[in-house]
Amino acid sequence: MIGRAAVQPLLDDRQGRRAMVWIMAIMIFLTTLSAALGLSTQGAGRALDRQLAARLTVQVIEGDAARRDAVTAALLGRLRASADVARANEVDRARLAELLEPWLGEAGLDADLPMPAMIDVDLRSGDDATVARVEALAKAAGNGIRVDRHATWLAPVRAFVAALGWTALGLVLVMASATGAVVLLVARAGLDTHRGTIDILHMLGSTDLQIARLFQRRIGQDTLTGGLIGALAGALLVALLGQRMASLDSQLADGVSLQPLDWLVIALLPVAFTLLAMFAARVAVLRRLARVL
C-alpha cells in the first residue's frame, strides 16, 4: 500500500482538482433540481389522484327555490346515511354567489335567481362501484340532479401533471447520464494527466490495484466534495421554493411537496455519483495498465 502521506503530493494538481470539484457541484446541483421536480410532481399526481377519485359534486338544478331546498335537504340526509359516503356538505350559497360574481355581477347575490344547489361529497373509496352506487342514490332523489366526478372534469389537469412528471423524469435521466458522462470524462482526463506518474509507479513495482486505488480515492474525494456542495445548494433552493409553494395555500400545492423518502433520494445523489466516479476511475486505470506489461 502506498502510504497516505505519499498520496497527497503524488497526485498533486490542485488547479485541476478545483475545476473537477466545481464541475461536479454544478452537475449535481442541476441533477438535484430535476430530481426534486420529478419527485414532487409525482407526489402531486398521487395526491391529486387521492383527492379526485373519491370526490363528487352533486348539483340540484331546480327553478323553484323552495322545492330545490327541500330536495337538497332530503338528498343530504340520504347521502349522509349511506355507508359509502364519508362526508356530504352543501356548498355555502353565499360562497357560491361570491364565486359567480365576476360572471353574474351583483345579481348573483339575489336569492331569487335560479341557482343550482351544490353538494360536495367525499366518498370512503374512489372505486367505480362505490361511485356508481352513490350516483344512483343521488339521482333517485328527483329530476334535475347532476353528478360530476371531480376526476372527470379535472382530467386535463391530471394529464398535465402527469406530463410534467414524465418530463421531469426524463430530465432526471438526462441530467444523471450527463453527470455520469462528466464523471467518466474527468476520470479519464485525470488518468491522462498522470500517465507519466502511473508508468513510473508501475515500473517501480506498484500493483494495478495500488495505482487504481490512488486515483479512485482522489476522484472520489473530489466528486463527493463537489456533490455535497451541489446537492446542498440544490436542496436549499428546493426547500425555499417549497416554502413559497406552501404559502400559495392551494389544494394542488399541498401535493407538491417532498416526502422524507424523496429527501433521502436527493441526499443519496452525491453518494451515488461518488461511487460511479470511483468505479469509472478504477476501470479506466485498470484498463490502461492492462495494456502495458
Partner 1 sequence: MASIVQFENVGLRYGHGPETLSDLSFTLREGTFHFLLGASGAGKTSLLRLLYLAQRPSRGVIRLFGEDMVLSPRERLPGFRRRIGVVFQDFRLVPHLSARDNIALPLRVAGMPEEELAGPVAEMLAWVGLTDRADARPPTLSGGEQQRVAIARAVITRPEILVADEPTGNVDPIMAERLLKLFASLNRLGTTVVMATHDHHLLHRVPDALVMELDGGRLLDPRAAA
Q: Residues in the site for partner 1, rule: CB under 8 A?
A: 1-3, 5-6, 9-10, 12-13, 196-197, 199-208, 210, 290, 293
φ/ψ region of 144 (left if φ > 0, alpha if ψ in -120 to 50, else beta) reads left
d(CA 191, CA 201): 13
- Residue 209 corresponds to which cell in the numbers above? 490495484
Closest by alpha carbon to 237, among 62, 58, 50, 40? 40
Q: How far is the CB of 196 from partner 1 (least distance, A)?
A: 7
Between residues 46 and 202, which has the closer beta carbon with respect to partner 1? 202
d(CA 132, CA 155): 18
Between residues 90 and 199, which has the closer beta carbon with respect to partner 1? 199
DSSP assignment string, 88-133: EEEPPHHHHHHHHHHHHGGGGG-TTS---EEEEEEES--SHHHHHH
What are the phi and psi torsion angles at 89 (to 5°)?
Answer: -140, 140
Q: How far is the CB of 205 from partner 1 (least distance, A)?
A: 4
Q: How far is the CB of 15 from partner 1 (least distance, A)?
A: 12
Between residues 49 and 199, which has the closer beta carbon with respect to partner 1? 199
- Residue 282 corresponds to which cell in the numbers above? 478504477
Between residues 204 and 261, which has the closer beta carbon with respect to partner 1? 204
Between residues 159 and 292, which has the closer beta carbon with respect to partner 1? 292
d(CA 4, CA 250): 56
Between residues 46 and 217, which has the closer beta carbon with respect to partner 1? 217
Residue 109's identity, in one-letter code, is: L
Q: How far is the CB of 222 from partner 1 (least distance, A)?
A: 17
Q: How far is the CB of 213 from partner 1 (least distance, A)?
A: 12
Q: How far is the CB of 244 from partner 1 (least distance, A)?
A: 49
φ/ψ region of 205 (left if φ > 0, alpha if ψ in -120 to 50, else beta) reads left
Between residues 87 and 195, which has the closer beta carbon with respect to partner 1? 195
Q: How far is the CB of 14 from partner 1 (least distance, A)?
A: 10
